[in-house]
């Protein structure tokens, strides 16, 4: 891929990135979602997490999507630039599911938002919880500073899952309650409604399909997948209250520290004049928000629990799924991070 020397020079001081531009020097039109093939372009906002595991330090780089989650991205970027995340920890690690960090005291309790802003849930049908997706945990009072990174890279075959559920619905029809039957019929309809490109990406990349639409996904890893895997493989023990109730060990046995989250904005370059143009900080685009949503897809939450995200249920016969979470507290200028997502 050809890279403009002017654009490369402008971005090199911030972080290493691949800049996609056309031969005439104009910005290529790239869909702003994480389902399409991801490239880094003029006007993009990137985040680089420097994380230390014991004595080892690594970097994970993300492309952020302000077009689909403008408030969420603004909150994350402002907190990062103000140094909020410096020294915070990754306090939950659930293998083949997600890792979570950014709590107020680094122990899973509390969180804050930039300038005490209200951050709604912002969802988009093409922003999905693929392997490497960056999203917000939710509390009983909404979104704060706590984020999660999807670490499940096992392929998820949506078509096969739909076939299994359809077959099980027929086989176990006389044993299911009406409530269970309705649940699985609705889940089957959800699977069948997924577009072919989303199905293909889950099959190739993996992810946590069960949380799609229930949490804000505002970024996608573009470099550093191997370090996500390294975090996911650390030894864990009990110590996160809600996970303990589910019999799930999720508290890292070794310290995992967020040293810094750096933000880079790739400038617009007019190669005919070599002038740069700043991208508006809050692009205007229609976004679905679920603040105040009381539908059955909204995670049920409690005052004493942290965000709980449940892996996919693939068959009717094996319908029990574990719901990891962690305890929280309220702190001044912070909100409790709690909740439960039942899928």
**Per-10-residue mean pLDDT for the chain, 343 residues long?**
38 38 41 89 96 96 97 98 97 96 88 95 96 94 95 98 97 94 96 97 97 97 98 95 90 96 91 52 39 34 35 40 36 39 31
Structure tokens of 75?
A: 């909150």
CA angle 294, 99, 188 (to 5 degrees): 45
Which residue is it, tokens 């691949």?
18
Pairing verdict, β 256-265 and 268-270? unpaired
First to last CA, the chain: 41
Domain annotation for the chain: domains and CATH numbers? 1-151+214-310+322-343 (2.40.100.10)
Nearest to 198 by CA among 128, 122, 98: 128
Q: What size, in residues, is the chain?
A: 343
Which one, of 256, 258, 276, 275, lies nearest residue 266 by Cα? 276
CB 95 within 8 A of CB 233: yes
Instruction: Please give the DSSP secondary-structure letter assigned to residue 144.
Output: E
pTM: 0.75
The answer to whether 104 and 110 are in contact (CB under 8 A) is yes
Q: What is the pLDDT of residue 108?
A: 85
Contact between 245 and 338 under an 8 Å Cβ cutoff? The reply is no
Query: For the chain, give me the number of helices (H) and strands (E)?
Result: 7, 14
E strand intervals along the chain? 45-53, 56-64, 90-94, 98-101, 122-123, 133-139, 142-150, 217-223, 236-237, 251-252, 256-265, 268-270, 275-277, 288-289
- Within 10 angstroms of residue 316's Cβ, the number of other Cβ atoms is 24
- For residue 286, give both structure tokens: 């229609």
Provide CB contacts within 8 A for 6, sequence distance 6+. 269, 271, 274
User: What angle, rounded to 10 degrees, do the helices at 158-171 and 178-192 form?
Assistant: 150
């Amino acid at each position: 891929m050809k890279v403009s020397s002017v654009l490369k020079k402008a971005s090199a001081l911030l972080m290493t990135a691949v800049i996609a531009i056309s031969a005439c020097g104009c910005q290529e039109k790239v869909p702003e979602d994480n389902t399409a093939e991801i490239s880094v372009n003029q006007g993009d906002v990137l985040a680089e997490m420097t994380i230390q595991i014991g004595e080892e330090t690594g970097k994970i780089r993300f492309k952020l999507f302000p077009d689909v989650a403008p408030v969420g991205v603004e909150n994350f970027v402002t907190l990062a630039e103000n140094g909020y995340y410096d020294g915070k920890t990754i306090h939950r690690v659930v293998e083949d599911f997600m890792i979570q960090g950014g709590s107020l005291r680094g122990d899973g309790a509390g969180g804050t938002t930039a300038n005490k802003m209200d951050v709604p849930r912002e969802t988009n049908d093409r922003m999905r919880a693929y392997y490497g997706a960056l999203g917000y945990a939710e509390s009983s009072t909404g979104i704060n500073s706590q984020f999660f990174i999807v670490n499940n890279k096992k392929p998820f075959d949506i078509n096969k899952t739909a076939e299994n559920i359809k077959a099980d619905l027929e086989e176990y029809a006389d044993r299911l309650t009406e409530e269970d039957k309705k649940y699985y019929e609705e889940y089957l309809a959800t699977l069948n409604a997924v577009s072919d490109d989303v199905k293909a990406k889950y099959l190739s990349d993996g992810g946590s399909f069960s949380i799609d639409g229930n949490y804000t996904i505002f970024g996608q890893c573009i470099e550093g997948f191997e370090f996500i895997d390294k975090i996911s493989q650390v030894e864990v023990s009990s110590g996160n209250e809600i996970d303990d109730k589910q019999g799930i060990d999720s508290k890292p046995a070794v310290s995992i520290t967020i040293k810094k989250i750096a933000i880079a904005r790739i400038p617009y370059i007019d190669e005919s004049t070599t002038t740069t143009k700043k991208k508006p900080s809050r692009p205007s685009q229609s976004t679905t928000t679920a603040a105040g949503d009381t539908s059955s897809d909204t995670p049920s939450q409690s005052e004493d629990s942290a965000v709980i995200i449940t892996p996919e249920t693939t068959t009717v016969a094996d319908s029990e799924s574990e719901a990891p979470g962690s305890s929280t507290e309220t702190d001044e200028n912070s909100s409790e991070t709690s909740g439960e997502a039942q899928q």
